[in-house]
Structure 1
């Protein structure tokens, strides 16, 4: 029975950048795991340099929702692991892609586009406006989330039109960005959430933490089998009178 929330992180910045290591002494994955454990979830972390990137068949088959953070090592993720993650999403596993995970192999594969964007690392203030206040991912959040310093992402964001747009960001440089997007692929639900540059303490922000908790609850699989495809016999006898 799948009941695990797995937090995947390439875990490279934490090893080479003292600022990141100071902000996230247990890694970005460790910070997010602590948030979710405190919220009552069963959790596990996985990182790039583990065998099979920590995403063995056993782990993936137990995972209800996979959270993905990556940045400088997207190309090192093995294609066969990406394909296994894609299949699990199609079968119903939830996927939450954070910040620079927009350029990950798995997100680009599931979106079918370049997922490119504009960016600037210059201590911009970010204000994420809630544009779908009735959505469960926005539960407990006010009209907006304000982050004092963040990396800027700007439009055009080369993604398919989201099924639902939950947050739209504004930055002090004047840019806007679709920063909270949901999709369905097969039986699986996907949420992309923009904030989370590694040199800022974004994942210590209480509203950002609440969004991640809400998104995990939303992305959990529903209790149903994946549809059967291929040649099918008629349910009714078309020649019967």
Structure 2
């Protein structure tokens, strides 16, 4: 059965800036959806200005992995929808947060920190994205590094909890470094933050970046989970009667 992916994007930059629309004429969500569909996945898209941001409970219940791209309108995402996504992640839905989605409400809720705290510089610098865990499924089929000709710089310190798994670290032309690929487990769900993807640069057209995101979807997809119960159960093994 194909992995069911929802690609969510604010879809504001593309409508407001001709230079961004020229890079992503179908929107960032459309670009990502195209290469995931080519990889055999069942893909849908949703955007900020749709009713309920396109993320109804029924849609989320039918989603294995949610991809999130946001930047200029984090505060416009309704708290009710954030809570809905959060509960689905705890229940097993995978979440992939891209680029400036680090400052989204959902990522901050899952991190428990102000993950918007970092350094940034929008100069189109060269980036070297280094693989630091060559055994991880997210780097399958890649070399030891990815060269990105022009990108927005993100620099440390990045105010996130210690990742459960660190997959990538970036070096930028101006000298900064950044933890650009981080994994966490939250409840039954898996979360991957992947930093590349500034809207003004054609990063999501790059084959290696597409491979990372495709691999990440496969990694984050739910498994056939054991049934987990909570509360006040009876003993699994009978407890012998104790003398008074």
- Please indicate the TM-score interval, normalised by the length of the shorter structure: over 0.9
CA contact (8 A) 2:2 2:42 kept: no
User: How far did residue 228 of structure 1 move?
Assistant: 1.3
In the alignment, the residues of structure 2 paired with residue 225 and residue 44 of structure 1 have an alpha-carbon distance, to the nearest angstrom, of 28
Distance 1:91 1:146, change over 3 A: same
Name the structure 2 match of 1:126: 127
In the alignment, the residues of structure 1 paired with residue 234 and residue 10 of structure 2 have an alpha-carbon distance, to the nearest angstrom, of 47
Give 5+ residue unaligned stretches, structure 2.
none
Give 5+ residue unaligned stretches, structure 1.
none
Task: Within 5 Å, give how 1:1-241 maps onto structure 2.
Answer: 3-115=3-115, 116-225=117-226, 227-240=228-241
In the alignment, the residues of structure 1 paired with residue 194 and residue 51 of structure 2 have an alpha-carbon distance, to the nearest angstrom, of 27
CA contact (8 A) 2:2 2:40 kept: no
Which piece of structure 1 moves more, 4-13 or 223-232?
A: 223-232
CA contact (8 A) 1:68 1:98 kept: yes
C-alpha deviations, 1:157-176, integer Å up to 9, x for none? 00000000000000011100
C-alpha deviations, 1:107-150, integer Å up to 9, x for none? 00000001111100001111000000111100111010010000
User: How far did residue 237 of structure 1 move?
Assistant: 2.1
Residue 52 of structure 1: SS of its match in structure 2?
Answer: helix
Q: CA RMSD in A?
A: 1.3
User: How far did residue 226 of structure 1 move?
Assistant: 5.2
Which piece of structure 1 moves more, 130-139 or 228-237?
A: 228-237
Which piece of structure 1 moves more, 1-10 or 106-115?
A: 1-10
CA contact (8 A) 1:2 1:63 kept: no
In the alignment, the residues of structure 2 paired with residue 166 and residue 2 of structure 1 have an alpha-carbon distance, to the nearest angstrom, of 25
TM-score calculated relative to the size of structure 1: 0.97
- Structure 1's consecutive aligned runs of 4 or more residues displaced over 3 angstroms after TM superposition are none
CA contact (8 A) 1:14 1:27 kept: yes
In the alignment, the residues of structure 1 paired with residue 30 and residue 10 of structure 2 have an alpha-carbon distance, to the nearest angstrom, of 12
CA contact (8 A) 1:82 1:105 kept: yes
User: How far did residue 227 of structure 1 move?
Assistant: 1.9
Residue 63 of structure 1: SS of its match in structure 2?
Answer: coil
User: How far did residue 238 of structure 1 move?
Assistant: 2.0
CA contact (8 A) 2:123 2:153 kept: yes
In the alignment, the residues of structure 1 paired with residue 114 and residue 139 of structure 2 have an alpha-carbon distance, to the nearest angstrom, of 27
In the alignment, the residues of structure 1 paired with residue 162 and residue 121 of structure 2 have an alpha-carbon distance, to the nearest angstrom, of 23
Distance 1:3 1:240, change over 3 A: farther
Residue 53 of structure 1: SS of its match in structure 2?
Answer: helix
Query: What is the number of equivalent residue pairs in this alignment?
Result: 241
User: How far did residue 195 of structure 1 move?
Assistant: 0.1
User: How far did residue 225 of structure 1 move?
Assistant: 4.3
